[in-house]
Structure 1
Amino acid sequence: MSKERDYYFEEYQDRKMKKWAGFYLSEHTAMIAKESQKQPPEKKRQMSWPEIDEVLTQAFQGKLSVAIQKEELDYEGNYSEDVIGIIQGHDELGIYVADQKIGYDEIRHVEIK
């Protein structure tokens, strides 16, 4: 009997993580499929500074929510999601929306939501 046992442990090859891959794979594949269906945000029209200033002033005075597309691209060349929120404040360099500061020179497009 000990001979069988020794043979088993000498010949047995543990597959390690391979045996657990099936549990992870279905969830992972579903997540990847969901992300691949998501369309990147559209490139909005580049607004002039007077247009941006007019919309920001109107939104700040009326405490209205804005959607701001920043002039930045991700590693795939797509614009990031709009920053949406009420303008919380401003200074000489930019505005504060949704707990982040956006420089005036970073704004590509702004609209009232």
Structure 2
Amino acid sequence: MKKWAGFFLSDHTAMINKETRQKSVPDRAEIVGFVQGYAEDKVVIGEHVIALDDLRRVLLLSD
């Protein structure tokens, strides 16, 4: 039973992460804003959570 619960939890977590990634930023969207935070494999820009693998280009804007 514990083994089955572990498989279920793993599949559930993977599904949630996939749904979060799909909802966070549309493909080829241009996002302008300040970096609010970051984690090991994600960055938060404004209200968008973006996986680092999904970043294509980053521009530094000066005042």
Q: Which has the higher strand share?
A: 1
Structure with bigger gyration radius: 1
With normalisation by structure 1, the TM-score equals 0.29
Structure number with the bigger relative contact order (C-alpha 8 A, sep ≥ 6) is: 1
With normalisation by structure 2, the TM-score equals 0.50
